[in-house]
Chains A and B, each alone.
Chain A
Amino acid sequence: GAGVSQSPSNKVTEKGKDVELRCDPISGHTALYWYRQSLGQGLEFLIYFQGNSAPDKSGLPSDRFSAERTGGSVSTLTIQRTQQEDSAVYLCASSSQMGESYGYTFGSGTRLTVV
């Protein structure tokens, strides 16, 4: 596609429920990244994929968070047993390859609210 697409754009869920957030990167981009943006906390790195593998999962806050990527394209971030502190905007980005000089293209994000 022309840009990075994320769905849903907004999600309200009850505490304790599971949620799935989807990211559709730019076609042909091999690297995909998930970040979390909370008020006053900037962008917190969660995980990145090179192809279908995740060399760095160091940013996932707890074992309630997991992510997968299939076919080198779409990625899903799953949060199990959601807590109120999970409320944030979840951003996905992709780049043509993993390398320090490549800028990222970001999606518009999924705003998650846990009530």
Chain B
Amino acid sequence: GNSVTQMEGPVTLSEEAFLTINCTYTATGYPSLFWYVQYPGEGLQLLLKATKADDKGSNKGFEATYRKETTSFHLEKGSVQVSDSAVYFCALSAAGTALIFGKGTTLSVSS
């Protein structure tokens, strides 16, 4: 079946450090891929998405590229801020199915 695996956290970084959160997926066909973010005390928000191979999703300085050959959708940001501290979820959607989420990765950024 379809599934998403993302790196375990927590990830602890200093402000302005480079961030990578790994995400790999298993799916039949060609799913769409998403990153959602949950800030403390808030609901999940869509951060970015990519709907086909080699697409790059980007938002708020975050980027992720849909890599079909490695079945990956790693999240990156060149310089994190304290305000980026949150839980990040990788997710996929295949035809006719609801979003399937990874277990989430907690990011903590200190000044």
Query: Which A residues lie at the B interface, using CB under 8 A?
Result: 4, 33, 35, 40-43, 45, 48, 55-56, 91, 93, 98, 100-109
Given contacts A42-B104, A45-B100, contact A101 B49 (CB under 8 A): yes
Task: Write 27 A-B pairs (CB below 8 A) sorted by A numbering.
Answer: A4-B43, A33-B98, A33-B99, A40-B103, A42-B102, A42-B103, A42-B104, A43-B101, A45-B98, A45-B100, A45-B101, A56-B97, A56-B98, A91-B43, A98-B96, A100-B31, A100-B51, A102-B93, A103-B46, A104-B44, A104-B46, A106-B43, A106-B45, A107-B43, A108-B42, A108-B43, A109-B43
Rank and list the top 4 A-B pairs by shortest CB-CB distance, nearest first. Answer: A42-B103, A43-B101, A103-B46, A100-B93
Cα of A103 to Cα of B95 in the assembled complex, Å: 13
B interface residue count range (under 10 / 10 to 19 / 20 to 34 / 35 or more): 20 to 34
B109 within 8 A of A: no
Once bound together, how far apart are the Cα atoms of A104 and B97, in whole Å? 13
Q: Is B89 in the interface zone, CB < 8 Å from A?
A: yes
* Number of A-B residue pairs with CB-CB distance less than 8 Å in the complex they form: 54
Name the CB-closest residue of B to A45: B98
C-alpha spacing A45/B99, complex, angstroms: 8
**Contact B99 A104, beta carbon cutoff 8 Å:** yes
Q: Tell me the nearest residue of chain B to A42, going by C-beta.
A: B103
Whether A42 contacts B46 by the Cβ 8 Å rule is no
CB of B45 to closest CB in A, whole Å = 7
Query: Given the complex, which residues of A lie within 8 Å of B49, measured CB to CB?
Result: 101, 103
